[in-house]
Amino acid sequence: MALIEIKNITKQYTSGEDVVEALRGVDISIEAGEFITIMGQSGSGKSTLLSVLGGMNHPTTGEVEMAGVKLYQLPGEKLADFRAQNLGFVFQSFHLISYLTAIENVMLPLAIVKMNSAAKKSAARQALERVGLGGKLDRLPNQLSGGEQERVAIARAIVNNPHILLADEPTGNLDSKTSEEVMALFRELNTFGQTVVMVTHNPDNGAYSDRTIHLKDGMVMGGQV
Amino acid sequence: MQLHTISINNLKRRKAKMAFLTIGLTVGIATIVTLVTLTRSMSSDIERKMDEFGANILITPQSNGLSMNYGGISLGGVTFDQREILETDLARIKTITNHKNISTISPKVLGGLKVGTQDVLLVGVNFDSELKMKQWWKVFGDTPKNQGELLIGSDASKILNVNPGDELKLKGEIFKVSGVLDQTGSQDDSLVFASLPKAQKLLGKEGKITLAEVAALCSGCPIGDMVTQIAEKIPDAKVSAIQQVVEGRLKALDQFKRFSYAMAGVVVFIGSLIVFVTMMGSVNERTTEIGVFRAIGFRKSHIMRIILLEAALVSLLAGILGYAVGMGGAKLALPFMAESQNIHLIWDSTVAFGSIGLAVMLGLLASLCPALHASKMDPTEALRAL
């Protein structure tokens, strides 16, 4: 059975009397350990799809099943708990917390986990070392370059060993050299078994993934993939 | 890393904003502390002054149907010849439970005398306690320093045609008029005051007194209880409270307190508004941050805890600073607000803990709405990009 099953997802937004269909009957199946890139033009619905996949955006119809759990049938705050335990997010603008150091930012997902302080620090240090920032633990975000901030964001996303790593345009704000380094890092994480789903508009990034899903007007090009 | 680490680091690294919030709340709390402390100190001062101004308990002999009065009520010129209280009885007043509330005891002996062809009412008093109790007395000349000196009421001085420095013969004994009272509008204007032992001797009432006035300090002291306690100690005397004096004092103080508390209420409201607006602004500024927290799995309750903990820490600091600044302000303002020179600032632990508790409660209440607003943020909308 696939790790992620997206079944007939639709998502509509209403703006006054207008109804915008961001997703129209999307069916996707993702296996554990896959590296998927989702590509499409601006407004194609790829970011909406990622937010639905990340348990943050209730679809209008359809279902997302992840590791046997139907996400949008989880009651109340259980969905937040699911995100905390199973998902890692890398955002386009990194979204590091400006008043926390690199290691504190990485420890953020562990703030709500019952672990002793030393274990949290050790896990965060290991995650930062994996992304090559072992020497900059105590830097604040504004003391790091764009590429380094992206790496801290990746370390924060993997510190809780999530089933799936979701990334939204992770190279959107980086120069080409740094983008290549970051993509190589995602590939490396994937080779160690990390499932990665990445939204990107850069065709070069597709080369790092196992599979690329193309979205157009809220639909998957070529039907179910 | 715990949730409180986030709150503390936010406060530590966003000093300017937190300083603004702290200052806003500190000013509010300081104003309340200053107002409350000034009110209490001034109330205490006013109470003390009012207590010193005149008597609020009157001790008279048990009457057998005779009207015996003083303070606007006629003595009738005939009925002083009745049972007197012994001067030694008065010592027992100081043994009552509330003896610490007694400010002044002013014993008096009354009796009629002839000066030439004029009938006068001689009042024997203890000048020290009498002058302490009747601080509104204005004396032309000097106050009597020894038993050979008299103090004359203004009307009596005109009728007897005496001025300060003149001599007056009472029952064949020459006395010096040391001073004349300015018009008081009371029965004091027509009296001749001599020292108590001398008056007792002239009137043939050695060791006896006709009445005693007691000034009791009102604060924390039930006058009614004191009346009962004195009556138990001097069973032969009739002890009564001058209710209108007591109630007048309490009413004046009550009005002053109500005004201060109303002012404090306005300041509390403004302080709450400052916290509310600042916290709401802070939450709106941190929309993305809260979106990140929600995206990585923080529950709504976690977000609320972060916001409320920040508010509690800032409020705690503001409460402590507010108390210190408020007391400093009260100390500086007190000399300008009070008339007496020896007014004391009241240091009260209730105000200290109350102001800190109020600050924390205010901070939490005013932050509750922003915290709820933050916890309900949709992570997708908060992050926008995602």
Q: In what order do the strands lie in the sheet with A4-15?
A: A18-30, A4-15, A61-66, A69-70
Residue-wise pLDDT tens digits, B251-273? 776 777 788 778 878 877 887 78
Q: Which residue of B has its CA nearest to A42?
A: B385
Write the ipTM.
0.87
- Contact check, Cβ <8 Å, A117/B1: yes
Determine the distance in angstroms separating the CA of A128 from the nearest CA of chain B, rounded to an integer: 16
Query: Quick one: which of A128, A194, A192 has its CA closest to A166?
Result: A194
- Contact check, Cβ <8 Å, B5/A109: no
Q: Which residue has the tokens 């504190």?
A: A104
What integer best gives the mean pLDDT of chain B?
Answer: 81
Q: Report pLDDT for B244.
A: 63
Q: Report pLDDT for B70.
A: 56
Q: Report pLDDT for A224.
A: 46
Q: Which residue of A has its CA nearest to B386?
A: A47
Tokens of B289: 């941050």
- Which residues of chain A lie closer than 8 angstroms to B290, CB-CB? none
Residue-wise pLDDT tens digits, A35-89? 999 998 888 888 889 889 988 888 999 999 988 889 889 987 898 899 888 899 8
CA angle, residues A103, A107, A110, in degrees to nearest 5: 170
Ranges of chain A whose pLDDT falls below 70: 1, 222-225
Determine the distance in angstroms separating the CA of A162 from the nearest CA of chain B, rounded to an integer: 11
Q: Report pLDDT for B135.
A: 80
Q: Helices then strands (H, E): number in chain B?
A: 11, 12
- Contact check, Cβ <8 Å, A92/B12: no
Distance, CA of B351 to chain centre: 16
Query: CB neighbours of A26 closer than 8 A, spacing ≥ 6?
Result: A6, A8, A9, A10, A45, A49, A62, A215, A218, A219, A220
Q: Report pLDDT for B78.
A: 46
Contacts across the A-B interface (CB distance below 8 Å): 95
Q: Report pLDDT for B80.
A: 47
For residue B109, count CB atoms less than 10 angstroms from its CB and return exposed for 0-12, middle for 13-18, buried for 19 or more. Answer: buried
- Contact check, Cβ <8 Å, B297/A85: yes
Residues of B with CB under 8 A from a CB of A: 1-3, 5-6, 9-10, 12-14, 288-289, 291-302, 378-380, 383, 385-386
Q: Choose from B9, B309, B386 for mutation: most chain A CBs within 10 A.
A: B386
Q: Report pLDDT for B385.
A: 42
Q: Report pLDDT for B246.
A: 59
Tokens of A29: 């199946």
Please check whether residue B294 is in contact with residue B377, taking contact to mean a CB–CB distance below 8 angstroms. yes
Ranges of chain B whose pLDDT falls below 70: 46-55, 63-84, 218-221, 243-250, 253, 338-343, 381-386
- Contact check, Cβ <8 Å, A99/B288: no
What are the E-state strand segments in B72-210? 85-86, 102-115, 118-125, 139-141, 149-152, 167-170, 173-181, 191-195, 208-209
Q: Report pLDDT for B208.
A: 87
